[in-house]
Structure 1
Amino acid sequence: MSNTPTAAAYLAELAQRMVQLMHLNADAIEAAADAVERTAMADGLAYIFGTGHSHMLAEEAHYRAGGLALTVPILSSSMMLHEGAVASTALERLPGAVAPVLSRYPIGAKDVLFIVSNSGVNAATIEAAQIGKARGATVIAITSQDYSRQAANGRVRVADIADIVLDNGAPPGDAVVGVPGSKLRVGPISTSIGAALLNAVFAEVSVRLQSAQAAAPVYLSANMPGAAEVNESLIARYRSRNPHL
């Protein structure tokens, strides 16, 4: 018998949910890949925004080995966790706080804007999606449909605004493993599944571009042969439009 039954249960639950992702999101993944492919062919950019833990998906895609170089993270320390988690939680709920952040990024009609939010209802999330739409970008949400329906309580959800919705399937509260003898639940899944959805879309787009002889702009791991030359070329191409390179 395993000495780590809870760890095993969590990993089994996560694996099962990963297997279900394609069934849950087949049409949305195709639509998202179509949108990012159009953006790539138009020399546009794929911006990624999230607050709190969701911001990690913006960093996941940024300057990533095996990832598309056209991705641009939207990062604001005040809405992340490392400089004050309590303050960032309050700020993401404050109307008007996100507009100055997005003013740094020239999101336009040939671009895609991914909005990552598990609950899908906070002010920063909603306003970022609205700004993206107003600028003509294709807005793609990565969210939990179940959680956001419960959390909305009559409010607008990011899923209501986005052009395309990728459902991470997370339950309300995110955690999936019960703690015996209590009402506690542990083992959040939204970050792992969100990263998988994001990378699935970008992998699809990369293969499509290469198949169309469009030279997919993909970073190589720095320790792989030829990586320096490939990555330096991509950095030179995107540095003027990505403030985080």
Structure 2
Amino acid sequence: MLEYAQKSIEQIQKITATQTENIQKAAYLFAEAIIQDKIIHTFGTGHSQMIGLELFTRASGLANVNTIMDDLVVSVSGARRGAAIERVSGLSDILWEKYAIQPGDIMVVISNSGRNAMPIEMAMRARKEGIPVIAITSLEQSRQYPSRHDSGKKLYELANLVIDNCVPSGDGLMRIDGSLAGPASSLSGIFIVNAIATEAMKIVASKGCKLPVYFSQNIDGYSNEELYLRYENRIKHL
């Protein structure tokens, strides 16, 4: 077997063995948001945004998901610029005001290191507004290094619920010629958010409620237009 494949399997097994209880707790929060017709918001900077995007307008995924997207939090204007910006205080409040985040909604904040200003301040703002925060982070790495925020806090210290992605410090599953290789945080995060979402769907279905799930646009005979119309006034990027 390919070494990365073996390490990845072991990584998923570790998450399953240690994080199932918290994944189930997150699923109940998702399920409540679905039943109450609320929105699940996701936020991450750099590669962590990919994990939030996995839930957004995804075939076989939930339709009541909004991903906070802006060139401030991706690398389209330069990788070094993006890495510097995620450490700047005050920007999360600016982004918050661009989205119609309402009482009863949920915020999922993804940050592998959990130490940079933007994800920390997004969690702070959500808590201030009474929005429950689910954090997906590496507790090993986060506990190893100091916060880059003036409060001295890290993401895991601010969330209502923390899911440890079990990623080793440095985000590598392998060591090749003395260098860490084989990133783990995207693989782990995408597994976690899909596990939460599918468990939530099962809870909602067991209660006899209709699931807001997208069909693939590439399968004839199905349309997502009803869901687009339902959420277009509450989800910015539809």
The alignment's TM-score, normalised by the length of structure 2, stands at 0.95
Alpha-carbon displacement from aligned partner over 1:69-114 (angstroms, at most 9, x marks no partner) = 0000001112201221111111100111221011111223301100
1:176 corresponds to 2:173: yes
Residue matched to 1:5? none
- SS of residue in 1 equivalent to 2:103: coil
For 2:66, the equivalent position in structure 1 comes to 72
Where does residue 152 of structure 1 map in the other structure? 146
Aligned twin of 2:137: 143
| Structure 2 equivalent of residue 99 of structure 1 | 93
Instruction: Deviation per CA, 1:17-38: give whole Å up to 9, x if none.
Output: 1122122112211110111111
Measure the CA separation in 2 of the matches of 1:19 and 1:37. Answer: 24
Please say if 1:43 is aligned against 2:40. Answer: no
Residue 185 of structure 2 is aligned to residue 190 of structure 1: yes
Q: Which residue of 1 aligns with 2:119?
A: 125
Q: Larger deviation: 201-210 or 46-55? A: 201-210
* Inter-partner Cα distance in structure 1 for 2:98 and 2:23: 28
Task: Give the residue type in structure 2 aligned to 1:184.
Answer: S
* Equivalent-residue separation in structure 2 for 1:65 and 1:225 (angstroms): 13
Partner of 2:22: 28
Q: How far off is 1:153 after superposition?
A: 6.1
For the residues of structure 2 that align with 1:195 and 1:100, how far apart are their CA atoms? 27
1:98/1:127 contact within 8 Å kept: yes
1: CA distance between counterparts of 2:217 and 2:205?
21
Asked if 1:58 is matched to 2:55, the reply is: no
1:161 to 150, 158, 162: 158
Q: Give, in whole Å, the separation in 1 of the partners of 2:147 and 2:101.
A: 30
Question: Deviation at 1:211?
Answer: 2.2
The 1:216–1:196 alpha-carbon spacing in structure 2 relative to 1, beyond 3 Å, is same
Q: What is the aligned residue count?
A: 235
DSSP 3-state at the match of 1:77: coil
Residue 237 (str. 1) matches residue 230 (str. 2): yes
> Per residue, is there more helix in 1 or in 2?
1
Q: TM-score normalised to the size of structure 1?
A: 0.92
Equivalent residue, structure 2, for 1:219: 214
- For residue 178 of structure 1, give the secondary structure of its aligned residue in structure 2: strand
- Residue type of the partner of 1:240? N
